[in-house]
Amino acid sequence: MENTVRMELRHVSKSFPGVKALDDVSFQLKKGSVHVLCGENGAGKSTLMKVLYGLYHPDEGEIIIDGEKVQIHSPMDARKHKISMVFQELSFVPDMTLEENLFLGRWHKKNPVKMDWKRIRKETEELLAREGLDYKPDTLLRDMSVSNIQMLEILKAVSFNAEILIMDEPTSSISNQEVEFLIKKINELRDRGMSIIYISHKMDEIFRIADEITVLRDGKTIRTLAKDETNMEEIIELMVGRKLENQYPKQEIPIGEELLRVEHLTRNKLFEDVSFHVRAGEIVGFAGLVGAGRTEVMSALFGMERYDSGEIFLDGKPIQVKNIRRAIDQGITMVTEDRRKFGIVPVRSVLENASLATLKKFFYKFRSHRKMEHDQVSEVFAKVRVKTPSLETPIMNLSGGNQQKVILAKWMLCDSGRVIIMDEPTRGIDVGAKKEIYELMNVLAESGKGIVMVSSELPELIGMCDRIYVMKEGKISGCLTERELFTQREIMSYAVS
């Protein structure tokens, strides 16, 4: 690794209404290195990178590239300085082809009104060949997996001839096999001299790819360390400001009567003959590779998608789940995998998001009882420890962990909710917020609710579940019932064999 400083942020501060997101942050990036940026949700990581990429303008501080002070007011300015960014929330047009998305906003033209499609196709093919990606230029993005689109975003960044690449949680939506391919690609880019800033909450990834690690907390720089000078426990302690004992705080809760039973649930080409049950006070896990059908089954149970055949029983009685409203009324709720698309209304307040599923109980004689709504939301927010400047703050201004807690609060306000499906509940949130989510799961289970937890992170399934079902190619391939026998090897044997 070279010691040349490629880019430096000096004494950067940035405030938003009600919160100081960055407070005198300094950061250096060396040439041909991977510098990992760690911190809890809300620590300022993404804000700092958006300052570097020109999406935010700092209140104070300066940006130095190759020893010269520069002004970056927009992503176009950033690209002029050879900076590209791959966002956690992927930005693409699903009904456009790969090549169209790749050159979106910078079309090659033969003249002011005619595209040079031949040149676009040629450059796309050359870029795909150079990066070793076996994609077809005319493939529609709606037909590509999330992981393939993630690689396309990296390809797009490379196509700008970037020398500094920012990657914000690039592995949050891809499988372990795809993570391996991504890490290989990152190492290739570093070996070619690219400087990479990598934001992640996954400790195992961090220590595989990092040259240096900087920890932010509460908008401040806490410490920068070489990977070989530190360890996972120290980084976690620096992130949360304390030692984090018992990362998976599973409580032994008495298991009650059966709440939910699913028998032979089937939907053509997505899942087949899926049967399982959930009891009161029980946390039931679902493991499997990406595409195994876990999310599709849960979406059918919540009325988001239809199912072709099979039966669903609640408290021993058959129920029909034809839509989301029917599912909620009958006692099934869901924390969805994609919280931005299905879990929240980004432009509305945290108050409105929390009460969205229970609005009718805050209306009487065509009048809204705002004080009752405010009091009940405040009470449940105190229980789940939502951090927000006020109840009127737009939910999009909250960190991912706090957004997730607002979604949980929404279902805690729902009196009818007896079974809570949690699809990737800790995706994209930090270790401290993860533990808080686990503790909330314990609280919900102790109150007699049944929890279904879908996760791609095997350690959290092993640490938090009473039973684990494993899915493969749309079918349940195994069920582990003894917690002392839960191992990653055993789970993966059912997932792949």
Three-state SS letters, the chain: CCCCEEEEEEEEEEEECCEEEEEEEEEEEECCCEEEEECCCCCCHHHHHHHHCCCCCCCEEEEEECCEEECCCCHHHHHHCCEEEECCCCCCCCCCEHHHHHCCCCCCEEECCEECHHHHHHHHHHHHHHCCCCCCCCCEHHHCCHHHHHHHHHHHHHHCCCCEEEEECCCCCCCHHHHHHHHHHHHHHHHCCCEEEEECCCHHHHHHHCCEEEEEECCEEEEEEEHHHCCHHHHHHHHHCCCCCCCCCCCCCCCCCEEEEEEEEEECCCEEEEEEEEECCCEEEEECCCCCCHHHHHHHHCCCCCCCEEEEEECCEEECCCCHHHHHHHCEEEECCCHHHHHCCCCCEHHHHHCHHHHHHHEECCEECHHHHHHHHHHHHHHHCCCCCCCCCEHHHCCHHHHHHHHHHHHHCCCCCCEEEEECCCCCCCHHHHHHHHHHHHHHHHCCCEEEEECCCHHHHHHHCCEEEEEECCEEEEEECCHHHCCHHHHHHHHHC
Picking from 201, 142, 128, the residue whose alpha carbon sits closest to that of residue 170 is: 201
| DSSP assigned state of 348 | S
Residue 184 has pLDDT above 90, yes or no: no
Between the CA atoms of 210, 214, 219 and 221, what dihedral angle is there, to the nearest 10 degrees?
Answer: -170
Q: Are 88 and 172 in contact (CB under 8 A)?
A: yes
pLDDT tens digits for 146-173? 667 777 877 787 777 889 999 888 776 6
What pTM, to 2 d.p., does this model score?
0.67
pLDDT tens digits for 378-435? 998 988 888 888 899 999 888 777 888 898 888 888 877 799 999 988 877 777 778 8
> What pLDDT is recorded for position 89?
67
> What pLDDT is recorded for position 1?
45
Least confident of 335-339, 429-433, 442-446: 429-433
**What is the band of 457 on the pLDDT scale with cuts at 50, 70, 90?**
confident
pLDDT tens digits for 58-112? 999 999 999 999 999 998 899 899 998 888 766 778 888 988 888 887 778 888 8
